[in-house]
Amino acid sequence: MKTLFIINPVAGRKRSAKVWKDIRPYINFPYEYEFTQGCGDATQIAKHAKKLGYEVIVTVGGDGTISEVVNGIAGSDIRLGIIPAGTGNDFGKTLKIPENPCYALEIIKEGKNLTFTDLGKFQDGYFINIAGAGFDAEVANMTNSNLKFLNGTLAYVASLVWNLARYSPCNAVITVDGKKYFRKPWLVLAANARYFGGGMMINPDGIINDGLLDVCIINDMSRAEILRFLPSVFTGSHKKHRCFEVIRGKNVEIEFAKPVRVQVDGDAKGFTPVRFSIVNRALSVITPVKD
Ligand SMILES: Nc1ncnc2c1ncn2[C@@H]1O[C@H](COP(=O)(O)OP(=O)(O)OP(=O)(O)O)[C@@H](O)[C@H]1O
């Protein structure tokens, strides 16, 4: 199949360029490749590849690279392959794509199993993993913009601690398929997949092709309780916590009493109010097991 690898050389704090060098000798089928030059480039490359008739696009990068490619090929017949080479690599975790790039390449070489995934819709674009508003968006914004000089995990933890000290939950109206829910949340997510924040299983029961967004809400609790709550998110055991709830639906509107930051696939995207919806089975992804 006509295949293009799109490599984001700066993903994973530049680990991606090395990953590409490592896996290249093992690619035993015809392919082309292109490096991204900057923000948004992967979308343009993917759109062009669609016009040129490529059948498979493989990302070598992280979730941001996947998200950009998705925005170039959503709704087409192009198959998405994923070589995890970013910092968090959260989307691939839901699909059980091996974290080891050489094993991930083997899955693409086999290419026989496809999973159709839903895509979230935000404004005129798509997201594949998780979008949301509140505390998580503040953390993502600070990690990506102000703390680039720190390494990945350190930047995330520093941002988490800083925002925990200064962020306070405020009243919100969350409308899911027309039904209004009044809450005072730390954060509200519209999740397609299961993981975010570099391995946190925030949405343990998420199914990526059920045609529904999982609206995950962390309701008001003290800062001390948040500190106890956060580790449980890595294992998914937080789902039994009295302040955590999931509401499922196709259309979600989130409005806070004051404008609160929004993130889409880990990138800060303005402020609330915000609307998300879902497009069922909009993209096929090459996976270890069949859909
Ligand atoms: N050549 C480039 N120079 C600078 N930035 C780039 C370049 N190519 C792509 N980008 C940007 O790099 C950002 C980070 O990419 P990506 O999200 O894939 O890596 P990551 O943040 O390390 O991984 P993850 O999102 O899985 O934690 C993307 O927002 C993308 O727009």
% residues pLDDT > 70 (the chain): 97
Domains, the chain, in order of start with CATH, read 3-112 (3.40.50.10330), 130-278 (2.60.200.40)
Does the beta carbon of 82 lie inside 6 Å of ligand 1? Answer: no
Reported confidence tier of residue 173, pLDDT bands at 50, 70, 90: very high
The residue whose CA is least distant from atom 5 of ligand 1 is 38
What value does the mean pLDDT take over residues 186-191?
A: 98
Does the beta carbon of 36 lie inside 6 Å of ligand 1? Answer: yes
Say if residue 131's pLDDT is above 80.
yes
pLDDT of residue 148: 61
Does the beta carbon of 159 lie inside 6 Å of ligand 1? Answer: no
Rounded distance from Cα 255 to ligand 1 centre (Å)? 29
Rounded distance from Cα 11 to ligand 1 centre (Å)? 5
Is the ipTM reported for this complex over the cut 0.90?
yes
Q: How far apart are CA 244 and CA 59, in angstroms?
A: 33
Reported confidence tier of residue 85, pLDDT bands at 50, 70, 90: very high
Say if residue 152's pLDDT is above 70.
no
Write the CA distances from 177 to 48, 235, 247, integer angstroms: 36, 30, 10
Q: What is the pLDDT of residues 244-269, one digit of tens each?
A: 999 999 999 999 999 999 999 999 99
What value does the mean pLDDT take over residues 171-193?
A: 98
Write the CA distances from 161 to 18, 52, 59, 155, 164, integer angstroms: 31, 47, 32, 10, 5
Atom of ligand 1 lying closest to residue 144 CA: 21
Q: Cis (ω within 30 of 0) for the bond into 273?
A: yes
Rounded distance from Cα 212 to ligand 1 centre (Å)? 28
The number of residues in the chain equals 291
Write the CA distances from 144 to 42, 139, 267, 268, integer angstroms: 18, 9, 8, 8
Own/partner long-range contacts of 199-206 (Cβ < 8 Å, ≥24 apart):
199/88, 199/90, 199/93, 199/234, 200/230, 200/233, 200/234, 201/233, 201/234, 201/235, 201/236, 202/130, 202/233, 202/238, 203/130, 203/246, 204/236, 204/239, 205/239, 205/246, 206/94
User: Within 10 A of 168 (CB to CB), how many other CB atoms are there?
Assistant: 9
The residue whose CA is least distant from atom 25 of ligand 1 is 63
Ligand 1, pocket-test mutation among 6, 10, 91, 148, most atoms within 8 A of CB: 10
